[in-house]
Amino acid sequence: MVGIVIVSHSLLLAQGVAELATQMTQGQANIAIAAGVDDPDNPIGTDAIAVMGAIEEVCDDDGVVVLMDLGSALLSTEMALELIAPELAEKVSLLDAPIVEGTMAASVAAAAGLSREAVIVEAQTALDVKKEHLGSGNPTDNENNSLDAEESDQPVLSFMWQVQNPHGIHARPAAAIVRAMARFDADTVLLKGDQQASAKSLNSIAKLGVRCGDDICVRSRGPKAQEAIDAFAAMAADHFGEADLVDAFSFFQADENVSNSDADTHLVQSEAPEGALAGIRVSDGVAIAPAAIFTVTMPEVPQREFVGESNEMASLQRAIGDVVQELQVLSIGEHGAIFDAHALMLADPDIPMALQKVVAKGEIAERAWLSVMDDLAAQYAAADSQYMREREADVRDIARRVMVALTGDKGPAMSLAEPVVLLARDLMPSDVAGLDKSKVLAVCLSEGGKTSHSAILARAMGIPALVKAKGCLEQVKAGDTVILDGFEGLLWFAPGKDVEQGLVDKRQQWRNDIETCATKALAPAITHAGKTVSVLANIGGPDDVALAQACGAEGVGLFRTEFLFQQRDVLPSEDEQFQVYCQIASAFGDKPVTIRSLDVGGDKPLAAYPMPAEDNPFLGQRGVRLCLAHPDLFATQLRAILRAYQQQPNIQLMIPMVATVDEVRQVKALLEQQRQQLELCDSSLPVGIMIEVPAAVLNADALAQEVDFFSIGTNDLTQYVMAADRGNSAVAELVDYFQPAVMSAIARTCAAAHKAGISVSMCGEMAGDVTATETLLSIGLGKFSASAALLPALKEAIRRC
């Protein structure tokens, strides 16, 4: 990887630039700084020896690029090149790019594995986006930004597409485009009519306001232009990750000739019955409870002095970084794409540019942040598309999160003593995600939209909800008993007696229907031929147990223990792990609970246990490899599992990322060592492995002789068999578990398990796909483990086989 060296007269400036670059590359860039001098009274300056040391620190075969701020920084760097070995100096390039923007662009390119020449090009063109945004480029600059410069000897490639996504190119498709295009060494833009946006800027794409039916053109020029165009074309064919939504929309459009631009306006009843308010249906159900009014507050800007441009920007960078970490945790969940899009909004390079401009005028960080985000929210609010206008709430949510991080002011917490129907002007996604379903029976908003992220989360949580119920905050007071009818889109505040009784009966019928479904989910899954198939749940912690049981889980096929380790400054103790394992195993009685040992690595770092970055973490120290390389970390978890097994004999241990028999034997030896140290007599803890790398499939016969069970992890198995990153949309057609090679690997694994007389289950995404159920049963799969919400449908699919 190309190394990056930042040479500055100011240590604070260099640290700030390095921090920003580190955040943008998620720590993947190899950066060193040489800044300031060791003189407390006069710290501003540069030191050739420090520059030499920084170059030597990050230099490898790919070379180094150096970015400098002022004149003498160049002189110090040139002197450093004279001091180092000639063969090393040949690998160093000094750049005339701006130190902030140039470092950002160079770091992203270097982290992507581009050559030194490509990194140099990225750094030297780093100001193009800012010039375009500010309109400060000369005519030639504008031609270059639009990829029309005749003097360039590189061709401009293009691709046309008519957008069929029901909501156009909104936040999630735009996020997918940005991720894909950022990988390529090419200048790539998206055009809609005479409007143009950088294909590597989320907010720029969003500002185009691309709607369903719009024609767009992607144009690219540079060394990897063809790859960028091909990747975009592949994404477009998949409708930017929304193929299922497009298919469904097309089906309904065949029967309904309704414009999608402002579809919400057609969903509100023209007249509400007397005693009720009409809104837009979001989530079905009926709730009867007192009303509670929820008010969202933005932390106030503190009254303080401006502490200098570099310090104010450093505060902003820290706050944004903290929020990005919070969002990354939220993005792990089932509807994490919403918060993933929020994180990508924060990573947009336009935001720090705008902040720098405001802070340079002497504004403190908090006021600068609100100013920039207010402008961005206003741009979304003024969009042509109803769907894009609803993204204003996402911007406000992000703005509030960062303001909380800046000020520490979380505002008054809502304390609910009894179940309520929650009324508000609008709710932000983070508000909805934090709702207590035992206390919030329904949600009614005077604003919002059916396609807002808050509405999506409310539906996912099963909370009856309405939006755009105009007048609800004026008509209803806190404490008034109301009835929300999510089926009809009505909020009743003064129903007549007959209407009220009808709504009470309707609620009871709704609850009865839910209980009937739950009862059926609890029944065993038996095929027509009379074969009983085990259906288990994948869980991530104690909070998932209740839902898993309600959905009919017959145990746990995958208990991800990473939640105990991630987002913590201190590793969990043996006793803490022991308590959690016992708690979950006890909740399932005698049903099996499969605990997967710690599955982290370079792509999933631990704050409490720092590990060096890896160029290719998916092929590095992950899963069992990392655990065996760090036996102290592993031994603590094994001890906790062994102790828990003594109390809960339904526990079994599963090892991830196994490739060889030797790895299994090393785990078993360490397990036996810990058992003896604990002086435990019982050594019968079942030990199994995940089959998720091709080597495990090819070694399946030998591995089956060493373990008690197999569990196929189709997510990783598919990407490793097909050599296709499952997060890379450019190769999405390869990341398909129905590929013949993947199906062959699954069949071979099942055959090896049956031959050895051990059980074989599946815990990957394919296990919950009902279109695959009969095929998997036919090739010998005996157990299925999937997300809890998928279990009722999975059981029903098995019963039809």
Q: Does residue 356 surpass a pLDDT of 50?
A: yes
Q: Does residue 296 surpass a pLDDT of 90?
A: no
What are 771-797's pLDDT values in tens digits?
Answer: 899 999 998 998 999 888 788 888 988
* Mean pLDDT across 610-619: 74
Catalytic-residue membership of 582:
no
pLDDT at position 258, please? 35
- Domain 527-682+761-800 coded CATH 3.40.640.10: no
Q: Does residue 566 surpass a pLDDT of 50?
A: yes
Percent of the chain at pLDDT above 70? 83
Nearest to 35 by CA among 52, 12, 64, 16: 12
State the architecture of 309-407 in CATH terms. Answer: Orthogonal Bundle (1.10)
What are 485-507's pLDDT values in tens digits?
Answer: 999 999 999 999 999 999 999 99
Q: How confident is the model at residue 563 (pLDDT cuts 50, 70, 90)?
A: confident
pLDDT at position 513, please? 74
What are 669-700's pLDDT values in tens digits?
Answer: 999 999 999 999 888 999 999 999 999 999 99
pLDDT at position 737, please? 87
pLDDT at position 290, please? 94
Domain covering 276-296+413-519 in this structure, CATH number: 3.50.30.10
Q: Is 82 exposed, middle or buried (0-12, 13-18, 19+ CB in 10 A)?
A: exposed
Can you list the alpha helix ranges (DSSP code H) found in 64-115?
71-83, 86-89, 99-111
Strand (E) positions, 359-447? Answer: 420-424, 440-445
Q: Does residue 577 surpass a pLDDT of 90?
A: yes
- Domain 132-255 coded CATH 3.30.1340.10: yes
What are 707-729's pLDDT values in tens digits?
Answer: 999 999 998 899 899 998 765 54
pLDDT at position 28, please? 76
Helix (H) or strand (E) holding 387: helix 386-389
* Mean pLDDT across 329-343: 62
Q: Does residue 4 surpass a pLDDT of 90?
A: yes
* Mean pLDDT across 273-300: 87
* Mean pLDDT across 596-613: 74
In the three-class reduction of DSSP (H, G, I as helix; E, B as strand; rest coil), residue 762 is classed as: strand
State the architecture of 3-126 in CATH terms. Answer: 3-Layer(aba) Sandwich (3.40)
pLDDT at position 272, please? 82
* Mean pLDDT across 148-173: 74
Q: Which of 9, 212, 453, 750 is catalytic?
A: 453
pLDDT at position 454, please? 62
pLDDT at position 63, please? 93
Q: How confident is the model at residue 40 (pLDDT cuts 50, 70, 90)?
A: confident
What is the longest distance spanned by two Cα atoms in the chain? 93
Under 8 Å CB-to-CB from 359, ≥6 apart: which residues? 309, 312, 313, 316, 365, 368
* Mean pLDDT across 445-470: 72
What are 230-265's pLDDT values in tens digits?
Answer: 889 888 888 887 765 565 444 334 333 333 334 444
Q: In this structure, are residues 164 and 246 in contact, taking their beta carbons and an 8 Å threshold?
A: yes
Q: Is 505 exposed, middle or buried (0-12, 13-18, 19+ CB in 10 A)?
A: exposed
pLDDT at position 491, please? 94
Q: In this structure, are residues 455 and 448 in contact, taking their beta carbons and an 8 Å threshold?
A: yes
Q: Does residue 193 surpass a pLDDT of 90?
A: no
Q: Does residue 603 surpass a pLDDT of 70?
A: no
Q: Does residue 131 surpass a pLDDT of 70?
A: no
Place of tokens 């998620």: 26
Catalytic-residue membership of 528:
no
Domain ranges of the chain: 3-126, 132-255, 276-296+413-519, 309-407, 527-682+761-800
pLDDT at position 119, please? 83
> What does the alpha-carbon distance between residue 606 and residue 611 come to, in Å, rounded to a whole number?
8
pLDDT at position 173, please? 78
Q: What is the mean pLDDT of the chain?
A: 83
Which long-range CB contacts under 8 A does 769-772 form with residues at least 24 apart?
Answer: 769/737, 770/794, 770/796, 770/797, 772/737, 772/738
pLDDT at position 675, please? 93
What are 417-433's pLDDT values in tens digits?
Answer: 889 998 988 776 666 66
Which range is least confidently modeled, 197-206, 737-746, 783-792?
A: 197-206
Percent of the chain at pLDDT above 90? 37
* Mean pLDDT across 151-178: 77
Can you list the alpha helix ranges (DSSP code H) found in 135-289?
139-145, 171-181, 202-207, 225-237, 243-255
- Between 764 and 448, the more confident residue is 764
In the three-class reduction of DSSP (H, G, I as helix; E, B as strand; rest coil), residue 207 is classed as: helix
Q: How confident is the model at residue 413 (pLDDT cuts 50, 70, 90)?
A: low
Which range is least confidently modeled, 570-579, 599-608, 619-628?
A: 599-608
pLDDT at position 26, please? 63
